[in-house]
A and B are shown apart, each in its own frame.
Chain A
Amino acid sequence: MSLAGERAHPEIIENIKKEMGIDKGFIRQYAGYLKLLLQGNFGTSYYTNRDVLKDITAKFPNTIVLAFAAMLIAVPAGTALGFMAAYRKDGFIDKCVNAVSLAGLSIPVFWSAIMIMLLLSLKLKLFPPSGTGDARFLVLPALVLSIPAAATLARITRITVLDILRMPYINTAKAKGLSSLNISAVHVLKNAIIPIVTIIGLDFGSYLNGAVVTETIFGWDGLGRFTMDGIIKRDYPVILGCVITGTVVFVLVNLITDIAYHFLDPRIRLDAGKN
């Protein structure tokens, strides 16, 4: 009803129903939608009458940029913290990393977003609080988004590295007289990489679906805000379009992660058994 407005002419409402196919049965509506989908047609928004696919393709690059930027902060920060904690197990650094990563995981994004905005934007005047555009606008949302990812990465890295440090081949490497840098870079990192890549893949995939809260607070014109607008207005073609895009992207990112395993760890190669 809200489509045509509160006081719409009854005939306009009828016409809209006919046009959208609401007068037909559920199965036929569904089949109709699938058919359009296969033709690459996501339909048009109920409210703006704009092509949903066009809007998604316009906003998706922004979301990709934000996801990459967040990962660019999270991956080095998270893995470095994890390594440091593992090498200083039970020491001061380990305890600090533990506390920080626990905080990073448990602080809700809307709170950290507001705090970071108040500090870096309002008090220190380093970055603009909102908008979509060049790198200046990117820093705050990327920073906020990177916090939980970095926290997870730090914890996973720490546990994995600890496990590896207990392995006999590390002792062997030490016995061979290899430098500790060599051991860390070659033996530890190489073996720790699989769980790290898995986490990166999962987080990255979910960020590509749009970070609703972060994008809304920082006014970033990405997929998350677009989805949220669609949900609030019950703009079904938009919601469906976003969900489908999100699914495809998530599957793709996971596929890429799986392929990456193949290169990172020879034991996982599909043809490994043939040798």
Chain B
Amino acid sequence: MGNKAISVVITIFLLVSCSPSSRLEGYVYYRLNANPTTLDPALITDVSGASIAAKLFNGLVRLNAGLEIVSDIAEKWEMSKDGLRYRFYLKKGVSFINGRKVKSQDFKYSFERVLNLKTKSPNTWVFDKVEGAKEFQKGTAHEVKGFKVIDGYTFEIRLKRPFSPFLSMLTMTPAYVIPKEDIDKSTGPFILKKWLHNRELILERNENYFGDKAKIKGIVYKIIPEDLTAVTEFELGNIDVISLPASAYSKFRKDEKWNKLIISMEGLNTYYLGMNSSRPPFDNATLRRAVSYAIDRKKILKTFYENRGRPAQGPVPDLLRKWKIEDNDREGSEYDPLKAKAIINREGLSGIKVKMYVTADQDVVDLAEIIQSYLSSAGIAVDIKQLEWSAYKEALNKGEADMFWLSWWADYPDPENFLFPLFHSSNFGPAGNRTRYANKKADSLIEQGQYALNEKDRNGFYKKAEEIIIKESPWVSFWHRTDFLVIRPRIKGYRVYPIYTMDKGMDVRIER
């Protein structure tokens, strides 16, 4: 009897197993680590949502691989000499997937929808420099004066004041066009076919796309929260491209089979140790500078971080910095523990106690302990406080931490995005300046950079602003993270971009 039972169990086992998971022919399989919150371009703030929306929608302009602004639905555009008016000439053959042609009225509708407080968009700031935006939000105007329909295919945007990064902000998710009659009808190279929440999304090639058509039939996004599970799915061939989690990095690097299939992507981001510059002890710029001498960032990057990044010279990522930093105190960015100790002693601050806030991720906690040990040899006692992510963000926004570990990722590829939100004194707290750093000279240089229309002038202002910030060190800038992806050999042409909204899924193809 026992044998019978066992054989029955084995039969059932074999019946259920073995059948390989079915794949859609001609589709590429990607992994998402979370269910996108929404795919409404006006409301998206998460990476999952934005990277999918990029394949479904189009805006006036987009970024090419060289981070230059190129034509999307707008065929060409011109900016007035005073930098206040942008006029866009739209391509004529662009339709929504319901067949209707895209006209300038649609851009007016889509952009006003973002500003409309009823939409509850978290992204109103993208358009808040447009003329008449405030009046429209207050309800004193029924339309935004600065979004002007000249004719069906000519659209003009007027700004309150010149703002040089504006065009690059138009490459962002909230600036995509949607039709008034049905906001789910997109224009992009792919169409959303199916969305099984928490399981998968299926995108299908848009055969009527106005540009070059995608080379694949579609994309399947598998939602897999756990990194290790995703790696297993990749190894089994159920997923074609995967971003390597830190835990799997060295395993894949050492594996002959995978090593040559790893590609890297230098991200537009900066990881930093922030110091609360608005209150003692870190309102003292000399002390902050001493902290940056005290930590051997290059060594941490090489050992602990397994070289998964490039050392940061300052807050602006090297990909965006078109200038050379001149630091009179050249060794300032270098590790110099004796100098650090000397400064701290001279300031009479040896033995002070500070609180460092970190998230409860094990990687971050390990790093915090390394920083703690460096600072303790320099004479600063660090008390590490771990918080869950939301509580952590809230504490930082309120300025509770003396020190904290955080990163900033570009919304749009302009140095301004790494200077204005993070260091301008009008942006304390959630807007980005969590160190509460305030310097009138830096403020004014950042603003001048925003006004300057000539790129050379702009970079001149940014350079000076960044030099002041490096000298005063509200941040110890650690590194710009590089992401590593592995791609299955049958997938060809896959490209990685520094900003996740840049990949419209046009390059990738499947080898037969």
Q: Which residues of A contact B (CB under 8 A)?
A: 1-2, 4-9, 11-12, 15-16, 47-49, 55, 58-59, 114, 117-118, 121-122, 125-132, 135-136, 139, 216-219, 221, 225-226, 229, 232-234
Contact = CB atoms under 8 A, between A and B. Distances in A.
Interface stretch (B259-267, B295-303, B371-379, B390-398): B390-398
B17 A234 contact: no
B124 interface: yes
B226 A217 contact: yes
Given A130-B230, A139-B16, 16 more contacts: A4-B120, A5-B122, A6-B45, A6-B431, A8-B124, A9-B117, A11-B117, A12-B121, A12-B124, A126-B13, A128-B236, A130-B233, A132-B199, A136-B19, A219-B226, A229-B35
B137 interface: yes
Contacts of A6: 45, 122, 430-432
A2 B393 contact: yes
B452 to A, nearest CB: 23
B304 interface: no
A122 B238 CA distance: 11
Given A7-B431, A232-B389, A122 B236 contact: yes
Contacts of A12: 117, 120-122, 124
Contact of B225 (A59, A128, A132, A216): A216
Contacts of B37: 47-48
Interface in B121-155: 121-125, 128, 137
A125 B226 contact: no
B502 interface: no
24 contacts: A1-B393, A1-B397, A4-B122, A9-B124, A15-B120, A47-B37, A49-B38, A55-B197, A117-B228, A121-B232, A121-B236, A125-B236, A128-B233, A129-B236, A130-B229, A130-B232, A131-B21, A136-B19, A136-B21, A139-B17, A219-B199, A219-B222, A219-B224, A226-B198
Contacts of B469: none
Contacts of A126: 13, 17-18
A81 to B, nearest CB: 13
Given A15-B117, A135-B16, A114 B233 contact: no
B327 interface: no
A221 B198 CA distance: 6
B226 A216 contact: yes
Interface in B30-59: 34-35, 37-38, 45
B229 A129 contact: yes
A219 B431 contact: no
B223 interface: yes
Contacts of B196: 221
Given A128-B238, A216-B225, A232-B389, A122 B124 contact: no
Interface residues of B, number: 46
B44 to A, nearest CB: 10
Contacts of A136: 16-17, 19, 21
B236 A5 contact: no
Of B198, B223, B230, B432, which is in contact with the most chain A CB atoms at under 10 Å from its CB? B198
Considering the complex of A and B, which 3 residue pairs feature the smallest CB-CB distances, nearest first? Answer: A5-B122, A126-B17, A129-B232
A134 to B, nearest CB: 8
Given A122-B232, A122-B236, A125-B236, A131 B199 contact: yes
Contacts of B366: none
Nearest to A58: B197
Contact of B17 (A127, A225, A233): A127
Contact of A225 (B117, B124, B198, B421): B198
B224 A130 contact: yes
Contacts of A117: 228-229, 232
A2 B388 CA distance: 14
Nearest to B226: A217
Interface string B69-94: 00000000000000000000000000
Nearest to A14: B117
Contacts of B233: 128-130
B34 to A, nearest CB: 8
Contacts of B124: 8-9, 12
A15 B139 CA distance: 14
Contacts of B199: 131-132, 219, 221
Nearest to A5: B122
B347 interface: no
Interface string B383-420: 00000011001100100000000000000000000000
Given A131-B222, A136-B19, A216-B225, A1 B430 contact: yes
Contacts of A121: 232, 236
Nearest to B389: A232
Contacts of A226: 198
Contacts of A234: 390
Nearest to A136: B16
Contacts of B17: 126-127, 136, 139
Contact of A7 (B117, B225, B235, B430): B430
Interface string B93-126: 0000000000000000000000001001111110
A130 B199 CA distance: 10
Contacts of B394: 1
A47 B44 CA distance: 11
Contacts of A48: 37-38
Contact of B228 (A9, A114, A229): A114
Nearest to B46: A47
Contacts of A217: 226, 228-229
A210 to B, nearest CB: 13
Contacts of B430: 1, 6-7
Interface in B1-37: 13, 16-19, 21, 34-35, 37
Of A4, A129, A216, A226, which is in contact with the most chain B CB atoms at under 10 Å from its CB? A129
Contacts of A229: 34-35
